[in-house]
Structure 1
């Protein structure tokens, strides 16, 4: 067995380059655009994800001057203008400074903007401005504003803002307590304090904290007793507030309704509702839910009709986000093709499997062994095939171990039968899929 992944990698042939109809490789699209945005007749297409808001106009010196005047002469009860002024100064230190031709002038102007921003921030911190303290803490954590990264100072500011009722700061404080000094938390590791701050943040309405509390109660993390009923309550609260940045609770609830595991009846099996939750998360861009929908339409799960177009579309959306099981699923679709929807392509089948295999997905490593052994999308190479089989076997993938045993019995020689053309049956099930090579 090869000694290291790096040593093995040196012996793996580079992947072929996609090239359709003589188009230069640099301009290729791995996934046909129409498959990313298509729907089958009779099946509702997913709701379009809201387009991001148009970017705001770049800061101007006039805007800086106006905000400075408003800040200096403004209402003491105005909590928004001071922090907006700080953020615009930070933006100006990049946008406006970049317009200056002389490097020394740029450096001087940048220092001036940053100095003023830091001065205002310090004053806001003294005034116990929670949002400004949260922003300042983030700057210390990232080493922004010319500050040296300081996890302890960041934690102190997060905790101070949290005590003033800032939901996001309470969540960050909890994270710091969970991580501890060794992992950049800026404070000693304290699971009990982490639980207290996660609870506080969730109670204040922080969506990530609600999800975190749900997972803590579901899996019994941080020394807590597992409590499925309480977990579901928190996950449902987080799901009600789901958005593109926080789709996770929808997916977790979908998994629970698909296959309830609690013995106390916290949830009832409800595939229809599970599908609804997965769809919501997928439409928000959550790649793992997109993979589940790809599976559902490929095998007719959740009472859905088998629909190749929908399956490929959802797998494609997940694959472009580096969801590795979806990459392998696309490899399977390209291996067989589908008339009128996806042209069969050995090259694409190989490339998608290789992408998943490079992420150490065991089943994809096994598929790569098969592709190399049979010459699918790449020249035949039994040596390369063995290397990929070894990789999969090292992860205890049973079929890879069986394949290596077969090769050993045959004296290391390839099966003389030649490649068997793989096709799909309309009645394919997910169980059959487990016996399939790559699909």
Structure 2
């Protein structure tokens, strides 16, 4: 982009500029447009369930938090939804209850829309999110999940298996996961694959038997179950620390002529396309630091960080703050006020690295007035969260040793700008060495197309249960550990 006018950072944070990087998701506006239509008595009941599912998916996202990190049977606290969304919720839940009740008492056959409606009712009966519509009743919810699974909604096997696993009944958990896996439920295939890999649920540890299942689950990843694609990428990149896999074991699972890094890129971009924040963060870092096989591309780095930020991920906020702290030559200007705002947003979410950044910004006066007392408050919060740099700054401030603007510029240049400049030079050198013999060159910075998604499926496991990365031995806080080393890495 040499010679071009740099983009304004605030202009860069434009959702329309990143729309091609993620799969389209339903919105309140589109669902509201369909409201009158889906309420018609003659409307397809399967379409009604789909509409209700989308409404409740938006509600879950608006509530925030990570359902996988909590007990899905614990009652959720009251929450004030956007009024326009609340109107849709008040239509969707009664509609689901009516659809779930359409099963004929003496018939063993259950229409697919009935079993899915039963499952969705069970999700909200288990967590009590909408007591005005469905009372909190975990035991009743379990019965709904069982009926839904046996009635043909196979994603319910994952929820059943997760509940059994949480109860300590590994034998039944294993049976449920295997039954779901036989019906190509991605979450079940993934759980069985991890169990083989790590020797869980009574499976003997076997990398050889776990890898094919994990690869299969990655290929079936959906918006509701994007983790398998991300995990497979970590395995290919040798970043799956719970069970490192040797290149020799990976080789049979790679397309001919493809390197593990190139294949990992495909799955990282797929997981990011499915709106999975950890993959978006990982891609943002890969483009920022030109990690093989990615070129240096400041624009795409910011775009992927912004996608994670848009989902409420504080690490995405902090990564953007660090980009806009210095800007990028010929791409976008620096904006210290925006850097401050983004760090503040991440700090308020409890990210120690961001709390350190707020102390640092207040100490020097970056994007705000210089305020030593405020700096000490933020540093104390960050230090309490385990940030060692914050503890050092507190000690320095106690000796009246305050950082100057000149020192800040030197730190930024040596630790942020230089690292990115080196990444750019490394990327350009690699591009020159691999240029086609006809003198043409590939467009720089254009991400590969995500792996083609499978046909739309009806398995949408809303509850992730013990299928968190931490529970599986996958440490997704690796980025946080790196970011906490220093504000300007």
TM-score by length of 2: 0.63
Which whole-Å CA distance do the structure 1 matches of 2:339 and 2:289 have between them? 19
Which whole-Å CA distance do the structure 2 matches of 1:224 and 1:263 have between them? 21
- In 2 relative to 1, CA 133–401 (structure 1 residues): closer, same or farther, beyond 3 Å? same
Alignment of 1:272-287 (within 5 A): 272-287=262-277
Please name the residue that 2:383 is paired with: 393
Please name the residue that 2:72 is paired with: none
Alignment of 1:361-372 (within 5 A): 361-372=351-362
Which whole-Å CA distance do the structure 2 matches of 1:222 and 1:31 have between them? 50
Please name the residue that 2:303 is paired with: 313
Please name the residue that 2:145 is paired with: 158
2:220 matched to 1:244?
Answer: no
After superposition, give the CA deviation of every residue in 1:45-96 in whole Å (9 maximum; x if it has no partner): 96663576975844569942x57xxxxxxxxxxxxx7x559869x99xxxxx
Alpha-carbon deviation of 1:115? 12
The more displaced of 330-339 and 143-152 is 143-152
SS in 1 for 2:343: helix
Alignment of 1:25-104 (within 5 A): 32-33=12-13, 37=17, 49-50=23-24, 57-59=34-36, 63-64=40-41, 66=42, 84=46
Alpha-carbon deviation of 1:394? 2.2
Alpha-carbon deviation of 1:350? 0.9
Which whole-Å CA distance do the structure 1 matches of 2:379 and 2:223 have between them? 38
Alignment of 1:332-371 (within 5 A): 332-371=322-361
Alpha-carbon deviation of 1:128? 4.5
* Runs of 5+ unmatched residues, structure 1: 1-28, 39-44, 68-80, 92-109, 181-188
Please name the residue that 1:267 is paired with: 250
Contact 2:320 2:342 (8 Å CA) reproduced: yes
Which of 114, 117, 131 is residue 135 of structure 1 equivalent to?
117
Contact 1:162 1:170 (8 Å CA) reproduced: yes
The more displaced of 270-279 and 390-399 is 390-399
Which whole-Å CA distance do the structure 2 matches of 1:115 and 1:133 have between them? 11
2:98 matched to 1:117?
Answer: yes
Please name the residue that 2:488 is paired with: 438
Contact 2:49 2:96 (8 Å CA) reproduced: no
- In 2 relative to 1, CA 51–36 (structure 1 residues): closer, same or farther, beyond 3 Å? same
Which whole-Å CA distance do the structure 1 matches of 2:95 and 2:265 have between them? 50
- Matched length: 361
SS in 2 for 1:420: helix
- In 2 relative to 1, CA 162–48 (structure 1 residues): closer, same or farther, beyond 3 Å? closer
Contact 1:31 1:316 (8 Å CA) reproduced: no
2:313 matched to 1:323?
Answer: yes
Which of 399, 422, 428 is residue 427 of structure 1 equivalent to?
422
Alpha-carbon deviation of 1:334? 0.8
- In 2 relative to 1, CA 282–34 (structure 1 residues): closer, same or farther, beyond 3 Å? same
SS in 2 for 1:121: coil
Please name the residue that 2:156 is paired with: 169
Alignment of 1:184-333 (within 5 A): 189-222=168-201, 225-259=204-238, 261-262=244-245, 265-267=248-250, 270-333=260-323
- In 2 relative to 1, CA 369–147 (structure 1 residues): closer, same or farther, beyond 3 Å? closer
Q: Answer with 1 or 2: which has the greater Rg.
A: 1
Please name the residue that 2:402 is paired with: 414
Which whole-Å CA distance do the structure 1 matches of 2:38 and 2:291 have between them? 58
* Runs of 5+ unmatched residues, structure 2: 1-8, 54-90, 252-258, 427-478
- In 2 relative to 1, CA 264–85 (structure 1 residues): closer, same or farther, beyond 3 Å? closer
Contact 2:100 2:117 (8 Å CA) reproduced: no
Larger relative contact order (Cα-Cα within 8 Å, sequence gap ≥ 6): 2
Please report the RMSD computed on the Cα atoms of aligned residues, expressed in angstroms: 4.0
- In 2 relative to 1, CA 239–87 (structure 1 residues): closer, same or farther, beyond 3 Å? closer
Which of 148, 168, 176 is residue 135 of structure 2 equivalent to?
148
Contact 1:364 1:438 (8 Å CA) reproduced: no
- In 2 relative to 1, CA 192–390 (structure 1 residues): closer, same or farther, beyond 3 Å? farther
Which whole-Å CA distance do the structure 2 matches of 1:115 and 1:322 have between them? 29
Which whole-Å CA distance do the structure 1 matches of 2:281 and 2:231 have between them? 14
Contact 1:207 1:238 (8 Å CA) reproduced: yes
Contact 2:115 2:153 (8 Å CA) reproduced: no
- In 2 relative to 1, CA 124–87 (structure 1 residues): closer, same or farther, beyond 3 Å? farther
Alpha-carbon deviation of 1:252? 0.6
